[in-house]
Amino acid sequence: MINWGIIGCGNVTEVKSGPAFSKIKDSRLIAVMRRDALLAEDYARRHNVPKFYSKATDLINDKDINAVYIATPPSSHAEYAIESIKAGKPVYIEKPMAVNYAECLKINKASEKYKVPVFVAYYRRALPGFLKVKDLIENGSIGKVRFLQMQLFKAPSEDEKSGKLSWRVDPEVSGGGHFFDLASHQLDYLDFLFGPIQKVKSIVLNQAGLYKAEDFVTAEFVFPNNIVGTGSWCFSASLESGRDTIEIIGEKGSIRFSTFSFEPIVLSNYSGRQKFINEHPEHVQYNLIEKVVQSLKGNGISPSTGVSGARTSKVMDEIVAEYYEGKR
């Protein structure tokens, strides 16, 4: 039985991930930790979790726990991951894997030294709709892939407009701005489809001046087999211009889908136009957590690991490197 403890039982764990740990065969959530003990106790009570802590070290050293889910902001991922690894406990880390690529390498170095596995919550690698896109590519539905175009435009929140800023736009805590939080999912999924990005060029700006982090990014990147990608991310757009699209163009057709809104997948080729459902599960991380549990039980391999997660952080660091030069 894989007995999980969660460090950082915030919003992401309420529905997306937390309940899944006890719904998967050979897995259960037995403890949670939050610095505010009252909030930790409240979470444990509402989710029927037997134990709660206000110190991460106490959870990590709980003899009944044999795997740890780290769901804190990225700036503490490396600290808690390495402490858990040294205690001999595999870790499942929220994305992005760490605040930067250098910290990812420290986590993976500890993983190698202590022979303790690391997994990262890039759950689109295990979702049926995103696996369908991979199948369509691999079965030749659009022929050889030539290039892809990606757009993600969002309006700033009312809190951001009024100066009430979250940790997600504090580079010291998150690594960057919303680009790090959201584009990491997209870039990791493209790594899953096409392999590691080999070359990057980018323009990174802050256009709205609402916070110090970047709010506009445009990038070009090259994958193996000369597949070219372009992406534009704007987090200071109008509500009316909101966009969430990835379109993959091949020699015989195209596939269009969304990353976050789970719109139907659209395949266009010589046979016409087809749509496929991109289902949003109740617990969106369930499928990947199940793969992680199976891997820990010796019954399979997780598609998302510390090695793949670090590659995504490396690419993000390369994209924003010039913008943050001298700022961090």
CB atoms closer than 10 angstroms to residue 308: 19
Nearest-CA neighbor of 57 among 31, 75, 38, 27? 31
Mean pLDDT of 252-268: 98
Burial class (CB in 10 A: 0-12, 13-18, 19+), 110: buried
pLDDT level of residue 327 (50, 70, 90 thresholds): low
Going from the C-alpha of 150 to that of each of 28, 166, 217, 231, the distances in angstroms are 37, 26, 11, 5
pLDDT one-digit tens code per residue, 100-137: 999 999 999 999 999 999 999 999 999 999 999 999 99
Question: What's the mean pLDDT when you consider all of the chain?
Answer: 97
> What band does 241 get if pLDDT is binned at 50, 70 and 90?
very high
Residue 190: closest CA among 284, 319, 276:
319
163 burial level (CB within 10 Å; 0-12, 13-18, 19+): exposed
Residue 247 predicted with pLDDT over 60: yes
Q: What is the dihedral of CA 218, 172, 97, 154, to 10 degrees?
A: -40
pLDDT at 328 over 60: no
Instruction: Give the model confidence (pLDDT) of 78-108 as tens digits.
Output: 999 999 999 999 999 999 999 999 999 999 9
DSSP string covering 273-284: EEEE-----SST
**Closest to 32 (Cα-Cα) out of 19, 96, 23:** 19
C-alpha distances (whole Å) from 253 to each of 196, 200, 230 are: 23, 25, 18
Q: What are the pLDDT digits (tens) for 152-206?
A: 999 999 999 999 999 999 999 999 999 999 999 999 999 999 999 999 999 999 9
Q: Is the pLDDT of residue 326 over 90?
A: no
Distance of CA 115 to the CA centre of its chain: 23
Cα separation, 178 vs 206, whole angstroms: 12
At the fourth CATH level, the homologous superfamily of domain 125-284+313-324 is Dihydrodipicolinate Reductase; domain 2 (3.30.360.10)
Tens of pLDDT, residues 271-296: 999 999 999 999 999 999 999 999 99
Radius of gyration of the chain (CA): 20
Task: Kindly list the domain boundaries of the chain, sorted by start residue.
Answer: 2-122, 125-284+313-324
Instruction: Check residue 325 and give left, alpha or beta (phi > 0: left; psi -120 to 50: alpha).
Output: beta
Residue tagged 């010291």 (tokens): 172
List the alpha helices (DSSP H) in 169-285. Answer: 171-174, 178, 184-194
Q: 2-122: CATH homologous superfamily?
A: NAD(P)-binding Rossmann-like Domain (3.40.50.720)
Residue 322 pLDDT: 96
Q: How confident is the model at residue 12, as a pLDDT?
A: 95
